[in-house]
Amino acid sequence: MKLKKGTEIVVKIDSLVYGGRGIGSHEGMKVFVEDVVPGDTVKASLSRIKNNYAEAKLVELIEKSPQRIEPKCKHFGVCGGCKWQFLSYEDQCKVKEDQVRDAIVKIGHLDGALVQPIIPNETPWFYRNKMEVSFDTQNRLGLYPKGFHYEVFDMEECFLQSELMVEIVGKMREFQKKYKIPAYDSETHEGLLRNLIIREGKNTGECMVILVTSTGIFDHKNEFITLFKDDPRITSLYWTTVYQVPGQPTHTEEALLHGKPALTEILHLENGQKLEFDILPKAFFQTNTKQAEKLYSKVIELAGLTGDETVLDLYCGTGTIGLFCAHKAKEIVGIEENEQAVESARGNATKNGITNATFYLGRVEHRLSDLQHKPDVVIVDPPRIGLGEEVVNAVAAFGAKKVVYVSCNPSTLARDLAYFAGLGYFCESVTPVDMFPQTHHVESVAVVVRG
């Protein structure tokens, strides 16, 4: 039968590939299907056909895999969030570890034995310390269903965030309805309410609530303040306005309406170290606090500092990794492009009595060439696009003895490890760390050493 778009085929799913899709074979051709687990036999409708692979949409589950479990959340299937709830946590970890190994072998052309056992979460639920929900023009407040960008569903429960976060979302939904405040419509550019961001200090119990609006008049600002100001759990209340003029870059302005400017969090590492971090509303902070403690513990262990080293902390965010290295290094130099993160990093050094750390604002790719410091160890933690050849070249040009690479994308990590290998830096280990249970995302920490 000639295969064309819309043709329905029966396919047995062999495994899950990076990105979360299942893969199986049909008449010798690889077929990718979403929303399936290994061992499922499904009827799927072809949506895209290429020379050596095809993509298909799930039509019917013909035979359930024994690996399938009942999802916990009532929004499962609609929500674009945690799509892996139908796999046990143990199976999720196994799949993630295999995916990292697969990337290391196929893309990085390295030995799969370098990949260490994944570091799992003690509790794979309620781990998120940051949540962003959106308002839509139908008076709903929640997350986007899979594939939607304008309409959200009313999020009534979520097992990735705390009860307090869900409670705040419910309160804001009632607030919008009570005062009939129109949501911002991104097509007409009318309306006011855009998003609600909630950040939590899991170890301090602090909570920051940020209401994001368009530039329209916010008549009910006082009522918004009243809604939260007497709640001792809410330690910061912000109102952020988005200024959007067609043809010009969007910019935002924040007003602190109540409480303190930053959210404070404390991290405890396995080596007994403990530091306190102030996080400004726009600054990056690892979303899974408990697992960030494990991730950073691993990074510090792998960096193997003795006290004499100059350490470069690239893509340093609020300075977390560099500051944990500070007491075991001669000096720390951080580079980060987000202004609030750099401000937070500098403040965090002072707050923790650290005097050997300097943080520079700027893009890594622009700042490296004129850096006066000569690093012994370089720690990098780039976004999903990874370092790329240019930054790998610039890092290797320092001649540091070791690079510790924290990555949220196994494909770009594997690509960059291959670049490092070409420059005489050899990979010693890659440790997957599960920062995002119930999703397909996986973090890894790799070490490369010179010569």
Active site residue 316: no
CB closer to ligand SAM, 231 vs 301:
301
Alpha-carbon span 253 to 242, nearest angstrom: 7
Does 363 participate in binding ligand SAM (rule CB under 6 A)? yes
Q: Which stretch binds ligand SAM (CB under 6 A): 82-90, 131-139, 142-150, 357-365?
A: 357-365
Q: Which stretch binds ligand SAM (CB under 6 A): 35-43, 69-77, 138-146, 361-369?
A: 361-369
Cβ–Cβ under 8 Å, residues 208 and 283: no
From the CB of 380, what's the least distance to ligand SAM, in Å? 9
Alpha-carbon span 252 to 165, nearest angstrom: 23
Q: What is the 3-state secondary structure (H, E, C) of 230-273?
A: CCCCCCEEEEEEEECCCCCCCEEEEEEEEECCCEEEEEECCCCC
Does 416 participate in binding ligand SAM (rule CB under 6 A)? no
Does 364 participate in binding ligand SAM (rule CB under 6 A)? yes
Select from 386, 422, 385, 381 the least CA-distant residue to 403.
Answer: 381
Select from 172, 188, 182 the least CA-distant residue to 244.
Answer: 188
From the CB of 243, what's the least distance to ligand SAM, in Å? 21
Which amino acid is located at 34 in the chain?
E
320, 352, 431, 444: which one binds ligand SAM (CB under 6 A): 320
Q: Which stretch binds ligand SAM (CB under 6 A): 116-124, 165-173, 262-270, 315-323?
A: 315-323
CB closer to ligand SAM, 9 vs 380:
380
Alpha-carbon span 325 to 319, nearest angstrom: 10
Catalytic annotation, pick one of 73, 325, 408, 427: 408
Alpha-carbon span 253 to 267, nearest angstrom: 29
284, 359, 398, 425: which one binds ligand SAM (CB under 6 A): 284
Instruction: Give me the residue whose beta carbon is nearest to ligand SAM.
Output: 317
From the CB of 155, what's the least distance to ligand SAM, in Å? 25
Compute the Cα dihedral for 415, 418, 424, 428 and give only its sign.
positive
66, 80, 383, 422: which one binds ligand SAM (CB under 6 A): 383
Token pair 């043709």 is found at 7
CB closer to ligand SAM, 169 vs 435:
435
Alpha-carbon span 316 to 342, nearest angstrom: 8
From the CB of 435, what's the least distance to ligand SAM, in Å? 10
Task: State both tokens at 176.
Answer: 């919008």
CB closer to ligand SAM, 42 vs 394:
394
From the CB of 314, what's the least distance to ligand SAM, in Å? 7
Does 381 participate in binding ligand SAM (rule CB under 6 A)? yes
CB closer to ligand SAM, 56 vs 442:
442
Does 286 participate in binding ligand SAM (rule CB under 6 A)? yes
Q: CB under 8 Å to 420, separation ≥6 — which residues?
A: 392, 396, 403, 426, 427, 448
317, 347, 386, 432: which one binds ligand SAM (CB under 6 A): 317
Give the dihedral of Cα atoms 126, 129, 130, 133; nearest 10 deg: 30
CB closer to ligand SAM, 175 vs 285:
285
Alpha-carbon span 343 to 324, nearest angstrom: 17
Binding mask 203-242 for ligand SAM (x = CB under 6 A): ----------------------------------------
* Site size with ligand SAM, rule: CB under 6 A: 19
Does 278 participate in binding ligand SAM (rule CB under 6 A)? no
Does 425 participate in binding ligand SAM (rule CB under 6 A)? no
CB closer to ligand SAM, 136 vs 443:
443
Select from 323, 441, 444, 290 the least CA-distant residue to 382.
Answer: 444
User: What's the DSSP call for residue 407?
Assistant: E
CB closer to ligand SAM, 33 vs 341:
341
CB closer to ligand SAM, 313 vs 376:
313
Alpha-carbon span 146 to 254, nearest angstrom: 30
Does 390 participate in binding ligand SAM (rule CB under 6 A)? no
DSSP secondary structure of 128-161? BSEEEEEE-TTS-EEEPBTT-SS--EE----SSS
Task: State both tokens at 319.
Answer: 């300075």
Binders of ligand SAM among 324-353, rule CB under 6 A? Answer: 335-338, 341
Q: CB under 8 Å to 408, separation ≥6 — which residues?
A: 383, 384, 435, 441, 442, 443
**Positions that interact with ligand SAM (CB under 6 A):** 284-286, 315-318, 320-321, 335-338, 341, 363-365, 381, 383
Would you please indicate which residues are annotated as catalytic (active-site) residues? 408
